[in-house]
Structure 1
Amino acid sequence: MATRTYLGAAFAAIATFGTLPATAQELPGTMIWTAYDVGSAGYAEASAIADAFGRQFGTRVRIQPSGSGIGRLQPLLQGRADYAFLATEAFFMGEGAYDFAVQEWGPHQLRAVAGRPAGITLIAAGDAGIDTVADAAGKRIAFVAGNPSVNVKCEAILAFGGLTLEDVQVITFPTYAAAMASMTRNESDATCTTPTTSQLYELAESPRGIYYVPLEADNQAGWDQLLEVLPIMGPSDEDIAAGLPEGEIAKMAAYRYPVITTTPDKTDDEVYAFIKALDETYDLYKDGTATMVRWSLDMSGKPAIDVPFHDGAIRYLTERGIWTEEDRAWNDRAIARMDALVAAWQDFQPAHADLPEAEYAEAWMARRAEVVAGLN
């Protein structure tokens, strides 16, 4: 399927004509969102939704792109952005894990509005000789500086094939876009990402070609090894991917990307208006990229997701008949987990403030594991 993206001006708003719908008064006149950098699926989808908000409601949306999870989260936590279109850094921030297991970060309260189902696997250049995950041994794997969302998922996928980071050549690139384009430039052999990122279409058309390394659902040992590294994914059959012939299926892992995220400080009414607008403009943006049909709330408004849903989103999802008692039970458990980790961090931080950075992170990750184990 051809991809149509909206990668134009930073302000993705169009003047409206005629009388605005009643919901327009519920949305602010301007908003700031953060997203992955230009060329990513997250930026393309945020741009398409922003364009739809502008056309339907006259809302001006400024999108701040960043190639790092920290760069997408800082404006949100500092109150300079209203929403962030995040990947797995939402989960890591809520857990205080990986790049966020340092004194200046730690676990933070975050809330989801909606998150599109997405697939991921080890995506290789067609000429790299990587037919299985195990074949990636000794190959150049593209990572992104300051981006655990990509890097840890790649570490988990390598574990599916019995590999660790010591078994491959990790090549770290300064931005997400640079990492994704590195295979086409023959600067790497493979990476891990969502299969509709714009640079992958370029790879598929290049002399190197593209190959989706399968993560077979019946490989129990592989999945056990993957989930030991990152317990938020599961098997998925993906039929929308750059260079994938129509009618074919790629065996991948499923997660949520992008996850529209905000803080609990955002009022219920504000988030209610946002998700309602997301729902009401669906027909305007659903063809923006090949996978945007998955923003339908019956898919994007359901657990499991990286962080708990915001109460304002739950209110709207309940009114629409989408939210169930099972969903509420999942959300209650997710909030309890986040509350426990934030409380543990508040006790841990002053007691360990004198530790060197590496020892501090190691000690916190051990404490985090204890807290999580105590919740089960």
Structure 2
Amino acid sequence: MQKITRRLVLSASATLGLSIGALGGALAEDYKWPAYFTVVTPVVGSGNHSLAVAWTTELTAQTGVRVAIKPAPNGYARPEWLNTDEGDISLMQASEYFDQMDAVEGFMTPYGGPSDTRVATMNLITPWGYMVKGDGDLKTFSDVNEDTTIAYTASSSFLAGGIEALLAYNGLTSDDVNKIETSNYGANTAVVTEGRAEVAFTSPISGTSYEAEATHGGIAWLPLPDKQDDPEAFARYRAKTVGYIPAVITSGTKSSIGVYVDHAFQANHVRADEDPEFVYHLLKWLDEHYDDFKDDYQHAHMMSVDSLKTFLDAGALQPLHEGAIRYLKEKGIWTDTHQARQDALVKLATDRVALWQATLAEADSRGIKVSPESEDFKALWAKMKADAGVTKSYANMVGDL
């Protein structure tokens, strides 16, 4: 495997060997920002893309640093672009991170599989749910059956996984229902408003959802059932949605406000070996200049240190970068409990990355192609995990911490 190179250099003060404590007192304007960096986002029209445009525009205006926003075609490309140095920061949701660490489907590539990345900043605490036509027949989870037509985006393990979770609630899989295959996030929504599909998994804060709401008949959202309504059904659903937090929607399309759905933490990841000074000063700038960008996009107020603290207090699902931890310590936010969970998450991640690297080396020695289409590689990866004592999904391993 090629060694991932760093494009960002240490600040002058760090090069001179100043202590962490001394640097902590340095003024933000003393930091020499890199001339250029790249932020990888979901597709144009998604909430996270719009948010990236908002905060990076303000950062450029205040610091002069040039930032390129690079929308990825799907969730598989985002971590791969981060690992191949095509991006310095990449949006990652916990469910996608779990799938990447399991190397499922499109993540089963040399650079798309398990890798040591860390949370640098929190982006959004995003509501995710099931969008239906406002004048359609689907009103509850239980209304979904074998005759239901779903929007299915196989190119996104996240979107496909959301639909599989809804179906699992009713004891179904995507093989049991009618599927309208879509190729991207926007089409995933459009097929519902066009009347070709009855339900899609998406977010009410996305631009595509606002557009859908303006169509004839409007849209509606299926409320998340109470666990006590059907404990077994809910358990099947939750097994496929580890890491979500149910709450009432407070920000999104008018049709979604007040609906009880799952919410997900969406964070900006960097490589573990990213320059700690850059990560520290990025989080510091975002915190100190929060008021300068929080109204530049409808949901930008969620990109705050308070949201990051909520993520930590709920039980972090991915490890944080050391630069971010340093800033949180200065703010008096980081606790011994956070550190204990961080240590466990780092060990879990580094063990998994080491296992993946060993598997890649074994595949290379046997002439096995690393690809989701390779049955030989799938068998090898399964064997390597079994030999290492891995019996659960990565999501469940995190859930056990």
TM-score between both structures, scaled by the size of structure 2: 0.80
What RMSD over aligned residues (CA atoms) do the two structures have, in Å? 2.6
Which secondary structure does the structure 2 equivalent of 1:107 belong to? Answer: coil
1:357 is the counterpart of 2:374: yes
Distance 1:317 1:238 in 2: 28
- Contact 2:359–2:380, Cα closer than 8 Å, also in 1: no
For residue 182 of structure 1, give the secondary structure of its aligned residue in structure 2. helix
Aligned partners of 1:102 and 1:360 also within 8 Å? no
Pairwise CA distance, 1:366: 7.1
**Which residue number corresponds to residue 371 of structure 1?**
390
Is it true that 1:71 corresponds to 2:77 in the alignment? yes
2:91 is equivalent to residue 85 of structure 1: yes
Partners of 2:376 and 2:177 in 1: how far apart? 26
Q: Give the aligned partner of residue 237 of structure 1.
A: 248
Counterpart in the other structure of 1:107: 114
The answer to whether 1:298 aligns with 2:306 is: yes
Question: 2:347 aligns to what?
Answer: 336
2:232 counterpart SS class: helix
Shift of 1:154: 2.4
Distance 1:148 1:207 in 2: 30
Other-structure match for 1:276: 284
CA–CA separation in structure 1 for the residues paired with 2:132 and 2:381: 35
Aligned residue number for residue 97 of structure 1: 104
Match of 2:40 among 31, 34, 41: 34
Out of 313, 318, 331, the residue aligned to residue 324 of structure 2 is: 313
194-203 or 233-242, larger mean C-alpha shift = 233-242
Q: Does 1:60 align with 2:34?
A: no
Matched residue SS, 1:235: strand
Q: Is the 8 A contact 1:23 1:277 kept in 2?
A: no
SS in 1 for 2:227: coil
What's the secondary structure of 2:31's corresponding residue?
helix
Letter aligned with residue 32 of structure 1: T
Equivalent of 1:49, from 43, 47, 55?
Answer: 55
Q: Distance in 1 between matches of 2:242 and 2:385?
A: 14
Residue of structure 1 equivalent to 2:205: 196
Return 286-295 or 38-47, whichever deviates more: 286-295
Separation in structure 2 between the aligned mates of residue 366 and residue 185 of structure 1, nearest angstrom: 45
My pick for the range that moved more, 72-81 or 160-169, is 160-169
Q: Unpaired runs of 5+ in structure 1?
A: 1-20
C-alpha separation in 2, matches of 1:234 and 1:55: 35
Kindly indicate whether residue 137 of structure 2 is the aligned counterpart of residue 129 of structure 1. yes
Equivalenced residues, count? 353
Equivalent of 1:288, from 275, 282, 296?
Answer: 296
> 1:94 and 1:56 mapped to 2: Cα distance?
37
Kept in 2: contact 1:34–1:63 (CA 8 A): yes
Retained in 1: the 8 A contact 2:80–2:112? Answer: no
1:241 is matched by which residue type in structure 2? G
Structure 2 CA distance, aligned partners of 1:300 and 1:244?
A: 27
Identity of aligned residues (%): 25
* Displacement after TM superposition at 1:338 (Å): 1.0
Contact 1:94–1:307 (Cα < 8 Å) also in 2? no
Greater shift, 102-111 or 69-78, is seen at 102-111
Contact kept in structure 2, 1:217 and 1:235, CA below 8 Å: no
Q: Which digits, 9 at most, give the CA deviation of each residue in 1:284-323, with x for residues without a partner?
A: 2212333322222121243345521101111101111222
Following superposition, the deviation at residue 65 of structure 1 comes to 0.9
The answer to whether the Cα contact below 8 Å between 1:120 and 1:193 also exists between their aligned partners in 2 is: yes
Call closer, same or farther: CA 1:240–1:233 in 2, change over 3 Å: same
The answer to whether residue 149 in structure 2 is matched with residue 140 in structure 1 is: yes
Task: Sort the Cα spacing of 1:339 and 1:351 in 2 relative to 1 into closer, same or farther, 3 A.
Answer: same
Q: Quick one: distance in 1 between partners of 2:234 and 2:58? A: 39
Rounded Cα–Cα distance in structure 1 between residues aligned with 2:334 and 2:361: 40
Deviation at 1:47, TM superposition (A): 0.6
Distance across 1 between alignment mates of 2:130 and 2:87: 32
CA distance in 2, matches of 1:193, 1:114: 23
Unmatched 5+ stretches in structure 2: 1-26
